[in-house]
Amino acid sequence: MSVKTPGFSLRATPIGTLYRGGEGMWTWVLHRITGVSVFFFLFVHVLDTALVRVSPAAYDEIIATYKTPIVNLLEVGLVGAVLFHAFNGVRIILIDFWSKGPRYQRQMTWVIAAIWLLVMIPGIYFMMIHTIDALFGSTS
Amino acid sequence: MSTSVFAPRSGSRNKQRSNFELYGWLFMRVSGIILIFLVLGHLFIMNILDGGVQRINFAFVAGRWSSPFWQIWDLSMLWLALLHGGNGMRTIINDYAERDQTRFWLKMLLYVSTAFIIGLGTLVIFTFDASIG
């Protein structure tokens, strides 16, 4: 049930706006969420890598956690977040610098979604093949 | 109730005009393009190629950082990613932290922690010693 106000509707994306509603708004929301997530991971990642200055054993121990099934799954999520942020970043640059960018911003959203899927499907396979093998594989 | 929005071009906020935000905006786009190559290359090598994360250990890092190419790659990625992310976080804090005090201290925390992580990462790359332990 929606209230009909002349010239104003909450559901449809108004013409001529980029960030109010629809693909333009939700990609903006996702861009922020993925950006913040990756930024926090960067802190953790620099700290774990810094253990190479402590000892080889300390580094190998922390890296071993990255090889466990649950953290492996989190890595897939991280790669998915980085890929979205990267592809949508290209979309933002095209909106800003390409004269036809704003007009095609909606189509570009579906193009980056398709590229994201095309990269993620083989990506998930190669990232998780060891984990799947270790959990369900018949051979050692 | 008085409004807190200044009239356009009233000059009230334009006393110390600077192009900082313009350069910040441009930096996000330029660093973003470079980071696409550096980060996606890094993720591909570390997570997908040749067994992915399963083959990473101290010896693997030692092998990579024996080459100046990967040292420069990682150093550029460290600086650009943290400055890009730090500026993004600054924008988000400015957007959502409404109280002046909260905004100020959140940004101080952000600047100090980001500087610490950039400094630590730089130190690790420059002082890495494959023969320790």
Going along chain B from its start, the domains and CATH numbers come out as 20-127 (1.20.1300.10)
**Amino acid occupying residue B36:** I
* C-alpha span between A104 and A94 (Å, rounded): 9
Q: Between residues B42 and A140, which one has the greater pLDDT?
A: B42
Residue A93 lies in a domain: yes
* C-alpha span between A33 and A41 (Å, rounded): 12
Contact of A82 with B84, CB cutoff 8 Å: no
Residue A122 lies in a domain: yes
Residue A3 lies in a domain: no
Q: What pLDDT, in 10s, does the model give residues A7-56?
A: 555 555 556 677 877 888 899 999 999 999 999 999 999 999 999 999 99
Residue A110 lies in a domain: yes
Q: What pLDDT, in 10s, does the model give residues B49-80?
A: 888 899 999 999 999 999 999 999 999 999 99
CATH code for position A108: 1.20.1300.10
Residue A130 lies in a domain: yes
Confirm or reject contact between B8 and chain A (CB < 8 A).
no
Q: What pLDDT, in 10s, does the model give residues B75-105?
A: 999 999 999 999 999 999 999 999 999 999 9
Q: How far is A58 from chain B (nearest CA, A)?
A: 9
Residues of B in contact with A72 (CB under 8 A): 53
Confirm or reject contact between A94 and chain B (CB < 8 A).
no
SS3 A64: helix
Tokens at B42, concatenated:
């890094």
ipTM of the complex: 0.86
Contact of B45 with B53, CB cutoff 8 Å: no
If one counts the domains in chain A, the total is: 1
Residue A64 lies in a domain: yes
Q: How high is the pLDDT of residue A14?
A: 57
Place of tokens 């023969």: B131
Residues of A in contact with B121 (CB under 8 A): 46, 49-50
Give one word for A43, left, alpha or beta, with left for phi > 0 and alpha for psi -120 to 50.
alpha
Residue A34 lies in a domain: yes
SS3 A8: strand
* C-alpha span between A73 and B52 (Å, rounded): 13
Residue B22 pLDDT more than 60?
yes
Q: How high is the pLDDT of residue A56?
A: 95
Residue A99 lies in a domain: yes
Confirm or reject contact between A96 and chain B (CB < 8 A).
yes
Cβ contact, residue pair B117, A46, below 8 Å: yes
Sequence-ordered alpha helix ranges (H) in chain A: 22-49, 56-66, 69-97, 105-136
Cβ contact, residue pair B132, A56, below 8 Å: yes
For residue B54, give the chain A residue with the closest CA: A67
Q: How far is B108 from chain A (nearest CA, A)?
A: 16
The CA-based dihedral angle spanning residues B106, B108, B111, B116, taken in that order and rounded to the nearest 10 degrees: -110
Q: How high is the pLDDT of residue B77?
A: 97
Domain that holds residue A112: 22-136
Tokens at A74, concatenated:
């989190």
